[in-house]
A and B are shown apart, each in its own frame.
Chain A
Amino acid sequence: MAVLRFNQAINAALREEMARDQNVILAGEDIAAAGGSFGVTRGLLEEFGESRVIDTPISEGAIVGLAIGSAATGLRPVVEIMFIDFIGVCFDMLLNQAAKMRYMSGGNISLPLVIRTQAGAGYNAGPQHSQSLEAMLMHIPGLKVVMPSNPYDAKGLLKAAVRDDDPVLFIENKMLYGMKGEVPEAEYVIPLGTAKIVREGNDVTIVALGQMVNRAVRAAEELEAEGISAEVIDPRTVTPLDKECIWQSVVKTGRLVVVHEAVKTGGFGAELAAIVQEEVFDYLDAPIQRVAAPFTPVPYSKALEQYYLPNEESIIEAAKRICVGRPFGLRK
């Protein structure tokens, strides 16, 4: 099995899907000749030509519009919004057009488009190049939102996104681009809406998104050493969300910690906590904990940004808060 970096895994997914289906095209800023600002689309122009790998002006609204119009008329565009922070510029196209076209046409028009974008803090990129905005997107019916946490998943999920008939936001965490992992050359696709139990455990469920999954796993290892067995779940897609997998885990452990790097207020954690208490409240042995960023813009300075980002210590602390001093398995 080949070992690929996260960005190479995405590149491989694009290459395979473009070779498989000639309706798949790419468009975005600097993606063709320059190969993308993180090297994700490198080599694809040479392989598929300028009619299928298109450099556009800096016009995010028109890029998403291009995706909508071409998807409605038979292509399967994968466009790039270089940083998720720029999504405000094209929000009308996302919110009022892409998300709603299937619905407001009564199901007559499908929009098989993917918007690849990059998000996350940790790069000292400052307040306008570091945000995590998945909660804003998951609030809009009609959009699917994917957040891979490793190269293997990135490839399999992107292939599923390209084949999906709905608009998909594919959010790549910039801190993961260099992450290496085993990625099979043989064809595989990870269906959207299937969570992954990254690590099994019995005492507490930790649900984490994107790069936080890897931090949650390391936190779980440390918790194990202290006698707390944590189950780590990566939803992989926040819309559609694999609620069943999370419920089953919470029923087993009785405890839930949700980890994301977006701000806590109105975030994925708030939504998940609400869903879990609605459905499996009776199995909870302790209050649900949210580990997330404080309600501030993402700061620039290393010292500030590290304070901002949730880390292994904050995850461990949250897990201990609901495990230590409370007997396990009260209602099991």
Chain B
Amino acid sequence: MVKIRRFEERVAQLFAEGLIPGFLHLYIGQEAVAAGVCANLRKDDYITSTHRGHGHCIAKGADVNKMMAELFGKRTGYCKGKGGSMHVMDVELGILGANGIVGGGLPIAVGAALSAKLKGSGQVAVSFFGEGAAGTGYFHEALNMAAVLKLPVVFVCESNQYAEFTPRRTHLPVDTVAERSKAYGMEGYCVDGNNVVEVYETFAGIVENVRLDSRPVLVECFTNRWSGHYEGDPQRYRGKGESEEWQKQDPIAKLEQGLRGEYQVEPDELQQIRNFVESELDAAVSFAKESPLPRGEETLEDVYAW
């Protein structure tokens, strides 16, 4: 969680310095979801992510050097500088892509789950999406398809309260996305997405069941996006004091409190984790800065396989 938070804070800084181009959609505030879910996954389990995908990729084990280099548009990045922030993929880690299209990952996760089921590999596919994506046709098609084909997919709705600039109450006619599970004949759950222990424990049971029974499940995790839709978004749509209220629910602070109280973890130990993360990210930034830009003609590569 700390690595995700600090990756995003550093990326915001580098963006402000003009070192990272394009659109950036930060995951700050939602770390408990990615961390709590992915801690239950095997390396070979699949995830599909969203345009706000850095957190999911890091939680699934992505190399921050290659991520940072990709954000810088460098040849050493995950996608050789062709994908950028919204398209980080690592097939060996089962990361089938952050995705620039809202709802785009849902049917792809269904396909990955089909492949797992046919191979009998015991893998599961997890599709992360926001409550905004629950308004797309792909959401409904994917849930229906996964249910009728009985596929091992966990649909993780990360309700961060906004669909781009539009608040939840404006675009969602139901109280919870999770209740839509009934319409597809699957189980649905709601989780406090700011409490990583709750996320972790809930998903431990769910992922295991999905793995065993090969049936999809829909889980909604309630959390909040601290940043704007994109970096630089003035967020005029947000209520006064709203961000501050949510920040009192900081998932990292909550976890640290628990660790120090219940588990008597020393502040030093927590600081060591933070120090480790800082040095890892220092290295990632240096790697990205020092890496070569792609040559212009590399734009013609990887269109087709020859």
Chain A interface bracket (under 10, 10 to 19, 20 to 34, 35 or more): 35 or more
Interface residues of A, Cβ cutoff 8 Å to B: 25, 51-52, 54, 56-57, 59, 61-75, 77, 92-93, 96-97, 101-110, 141-142, 144, 164-166, 240
In the bound complex, CA of A319 to CA of B241 (Å) = 75
- Chain B residues, Cβ within 8 Å of A73: 46, 91, 96, 111-112, 115-116
* Contact (A65, B111) CB under 8 Å given A103-B82, A106-B82: yes
Q: What chain B residues lie within 8 Å of A75 (beta carbons)?
A: 114-115, 118
Complex Cα spacing A72 to B77, Å:
20
Contact B303 A62 (CB under 8 A): no
Q: How far is the CB of B221 from chain A (nearest CB, A)?
A: 22
CB-defined contacts of B117 to chain A, threshold 8 Å: 51
8 A Cβ contacts from B265-306 to A: 301-305
| Bound CA span A92–B99, Å | 12
For the complex, is B202 an interface residue (Cβ under 8 Å from A)? no
A142-B303 contact given A105-B97, A106-B79, CB 8 Å threshold: yes
- Asked whether, in the complex, the Cβ of B110 is within 8 Å of the Cβ of A66, the reply is yes
Residues in chain B near residue A25, CB distance under 8 A:
114, 118
Residues of B within 8 A of A108 (CB): 78-79, 89-91
Q: Residue A106 contacts which of B111, B137, B302 (CB distance < 8 angstroms)? A: B302
Q: A164 to B144, alpha carbons, bound, how many Å?
A: 30
- Which residues of B155-192 have CB atoms within 8 Å of chain A's CB atoms? none
Q: Which residue of B lies closest to A27 (CB)?
A: B114
Partner-contacting stretch, out of B31-39, B100-108, B222-230, B253-261: B100-108
- The reply to whether B82 and A104 form a contact with Cβ atoms under 8 Å apart is yes
Bound-state Cα–Cα, A74 to B97, Å: 16
Most buried by A among B100, B107, B301: B107
**Bound form: Cα–Cα A267–B91 in Å:** 37
Contacts of B19 in A (CB 8 A): none
User: Which of A65, A77, A142 has its CB near the most chain B CB atoms (within 10 A)?
Assistant: A65
The interface residues of chain A lying within 8 Å CB-to-CB of B138 are: 61-62, 65, 92-93
Q: Does B125 contact A (CB under 8 A)?
A: yes
- Interfacial chain A residues near B104, Cβ < 8 Å: 92-93, 96-97
- Contact among A59, A68, A96, A142 for B144, CB-based, below 8 A: A59
With A59-B144, A64-B107: A96-B91 Cβ-Cβ less than 8 Å: no
Q: Which residue of A lies closest to B127 (CB)?
A: A69
Give the chain A neighbours of B91 by CB distance below 8 A. Answer: 72-73, 105, 108-109
The interface residues of chain B lying within 8 Å CB-to-CB of A166 are 304-305
B303 contacts A141, CB within 8 Å?
A: yes
Interface size on B, residues (CB 8 A): 47
Q: Which residues of B contact A68 (CB under 8 A)?
A: 107-108, 111
Whole-angstrom CA separation of A25 from B142 in the bound complex: 19
Residues of A near B137 (CB, < 8 A) are: 61
> Which residue of chain B is the closest to A77 with respect to CB atoms?
B111
- Whether the pair B304, A102 counts as a contact (CB closer than 8 A) is yes
Q: Please name all residues of chain B whose beta carbon is closer than 8 Å to the beta carbon of A240 when the two chains form the complex.
A: 304
A165 and B306 CA atoms in complex are apart in Å by 9
Which residue of A has the minimal Cβ distance to B118? A51
Q: Does B81 contact A (CB under 8 A)?
A: yes
A sample of 24 inter-chain contacts (CB < 8 A) reads A25-B114, A61-B137, A61-B138, A62-B138, A62-B145, A63-B145, A64-B107, A65-B142, A66-B114, A66-B145, A69-B110, A70-B112, A74-B115, A96-B100, A103-B82, A104-B79, A104-B83, A106-B302, A107-B302, A108-B78, A109-B91, A109-B96, A166-B305, A240-B304
Min CB distance A58 to B, Å, is 9
Q: Does B149 interact with chain A (Cβ within 8 Å)? A: yes
Taking a contact as CB atoms closer than 8 A, the residue among A65, A74, A102, A105 that contacts B110 in the complex is A65
Instruction: Give the residue among B48, B78, B82, B304 with the most A Cβ atoms within 10 A.
Output: B304
Of listed A52, A107, A166, residue having the most chain B CB within 10 A: A107
Q: Enumerate chain A residues within 8 angstroms of B107, measured Cβ to Cβ.
A: 61-62, 64-66, 68-69, 93
Smallest CB separation, A198 vs chain B (Å): 26
Cβ-based interface call for B119 (8 A): yes
Residues of A within 8 A of B48 (CB): 69
Provide the residues of chain B in CB contact with A103, threshold 8 Å: 82, 302-303
B94's closest neighbor in chain A, by CB? Answer: A73
Determine if A106 and B77 form an interchain contact, defined as CB atoms under 8 angstroms apart: yes
Closest CB of chain B to A141's CB: distance in Å? 5
Q: Per-residue CB proximity of B130-146 to A under 8 Å, as 1/0? A: 00000001100110110
Closest B-chain residue to A95, C-beta based? B101
Using A105-B89, A107-B301 as known contacts, list a sample of 9 further A-B pairs with CB atoms less than 8 Å apart, ordered by residue number in A.
A61-B138, A62-B141, A69-B110, A75-B118, A93-B138, A102-B303, A104-B79, A106-B77, A142-B303
| B120 smallest CB distance to A (angstroms) | 10
Q: B144 near A57 (CB under 8 angstroms)? A: yes
Sorted nearest first, the 8 A-B pairs with minimum C-beta distance are A65-B107, A69-B111, A106-B80, A62-B141, A107-B302, A106-B79, A59-B141, A104-B83
Q: What separation, in Å, do the CA atoms of A25 and B108 have in the docked complex?
A: 16
Q: How far is the CB of B175 from chain A (nearest CB, A)?
A: 26
Q: Nearest-CB distance from A121 to chain B (Å)?
A: 28
Contacts A97-B104, A108-B78 given; does A61 touch B141 at CB 8 Å: yes
The answer to whether the Cβ of B20 comes within 8 Å of any Cβ in the partner chain is no
B118 contacts across to A, CB distance below 8 A: 25, 51-52, 70, 75
- The CA-CA distance from A165 to B305 in the complex, in Å, is 6
Could you tell me the distance between the alpha carbons of A141 and B2 in the complex, rounded to whole angstroms? Answer: 39
Contacts A59-B145, A75-B118: A69 and B109 contacting too (C-beta < 8 A)? yes
B305→A102 contact, CB < 8 A: yes
Chain A residue nearest to B125 (CB atoms) is A69
